Amino acid sequence: MLIIPLFAVLFLWYLLLCWKWKKNFFDPMEKLPGDKYYPIFGTTYTLIGVPRSEVFYTLLDSIYKYKPLFRTWNGSHPEVNITKPEHLQVVLRSSTHLKKGIFYDNLYEWLGEGLLISQGAKWFAQRKLLTPAFHFKILESFMPVFTEKANLLVQDLEPKIEGDYFDVLPMITNTTLDVICETAMGLPVCRLTKNKEEYVKALRDMTEMAMWRSIKPHFRWHPMFYLHPKGRYFRKILKELHEFSGAVITERKKQRNNIEVEDTMEECLKKKKRLSFLDLKKRLSFLDLVLQAADGPNAISDKNLRDLVDTFLFAGFDTTTNSTCWTLFCLGSHPEAQEKVFEEVRSVLGDKPQPTTIEELNQLKYMECAIKEALRLFPVLGVITRVLSEDIELDGYKIPAGVQAILHIAIVHRDPEHFPEPNKFIPERFLPENSKTRHPFAYIPFSAGPRNCIGQKFALTEEKTILASIINKYRIKSMLTIDEMRLFTHTLVRPQDGIKIKVEKREY
């Protein structure tokens, strides 16, 4: 007899939830333009049957159809899509809209509550703790690492001289992974794994699965995802990634406690010159700062420590890899701009093969313009997301609290109002006289506001060192033009078929 009343109560409760959802979200969001909403799928039905290689362009068509402001539905989750600098400014400069969007839920089991995903007091405490690790004095101490790894990359490129086109992405990846391990972690990669390519593959497969789940809302439900073959593979690579970050923490703790370890730097010194073991121990790394805090009264749990390490391994090398490769691609397809960079490098370095000081890097003004222009065309992150913590109003539309804001950086960067001939590579756009009147949120490759990228100076310093070293010795030629390059929907803005270049030795 109690079953019928119980079902009646549950049914009424469900109807109440539906009514509140319709009143608070559906009705105000449906005032914005966008594709028709259907239950369960929302507006993601537009991607059903679309080949993976075409998802990016299908989404792009929708963006240009409805921009500058429109709504989408990821299942029953409402999303407001923003493509104007003025609207981005409302969200990003706020000190309240700091929570990352639901896409990052797909990365939670891997990155946990590291700096990328954490929020509230935990995020603030982490940001405060880590900011000193990116002081310019710390960056100066990293210059020998940047220089050494860039020199090794230049040597690795030598066998490619006068050869066929090849994908430069794996070579840059190896370099940037070496850099982040020795600077942020205080350890060489060879101390942590025998096959760093497997780690890189696991990391990129992990981010690919996060993107795959984001366009298939029914797979956000963990039990359904884990029944799928991709879910089982997810568990496998999650274990591999956590084992790598665990090895980082274990090894650095051994060094800090002056515990003798069986392996020494001799293995790494056999083929190529490396920094000495003593130098690595003396240099203050990101991980050292965290471990020092863990020793104090505000102890950090092992899991939180691993979350921070995983976050920095991901954010610290894959993003820089992308940016460096895209700049090489742009310079390789624009020989005039490349020669300007070369002439500037020679004028600053003289007979030196590569920069060794931050002062030299600061003089590479045109190169910096070229990097910024490449980041405009191919920002590391095409979109970033925030969950609105309170109601906002944009162009007369009320956007309720709880809605996910999708901020389309890549679209804003190609807005002809702020960047005439937006699809062309023109580094001169970023000369001071040409950029001083530009809207401050028209160009935000490192995000903006309180949650901007903490490592942007680190990334630019590393990238400048690598690019100056390459351009000073080689002439680069790209196989494709910007118009021919096909892009891929991913966590980062990626090429579908790599970045293929040729190298020629410079004679001077």
Is 453 marked as binding a ligand?
A: yes
Burial of 58 (0-12, 13-18, 19+ CB in 10 A): middle
Continuous segment of H or E residues that includes residue 109: helix 108-111
Give the residues across from 166 on adjacent strands.
Answer: 501
How many whole angstroms separate alpha carbon 90 and alpha carbon 47? Answer: 30
| Helix (H), strand (E), coil (C) string for 272-334 | CCCCCHHHHHHCCCHHHHHHHHHHCCCCCCHHHHHHHHHHHHHHHHHHHHHHHHHHHHHHHCC
CB-CB contact of 399 with 28 (8 Å):
yes
DSSP sequence for 39-59: TTTBTGGGGTT--GGGHHHHH
Contacts (Cβ under 8 Å, ≥6 apart) of 471: 331, 338, 341, 342, 345, 367
Locate 229 and state its tokens.
């073959």
Q: Pick from 89, 108, 88: which is nearest to 100 by CA?
A: 108
Locate 421 and state its tokens.
């001939």
CB-CB contact of 464 with 150 (8 Å):
no
Q: What is the DSSP letter of 24?
A: I
Helix spans in 296-445 (H) = 302-332, 335-349, 358-362, 365-377, 409-413, 432-435
CB-CB contact of 36 with 84 (8 Å):
no
Q: What size, in residues, is the chain?
A: 508
Residue identified by tokens 């196989």 is: 479
Q: Pick from 171, 183, 245: which is nearest to 461 by CA?
A: 183
Q: Which residue ranges are tagged as binding site?
A: 453
Q: Which residue ranges are tagged as binding site for heme?
A: 453
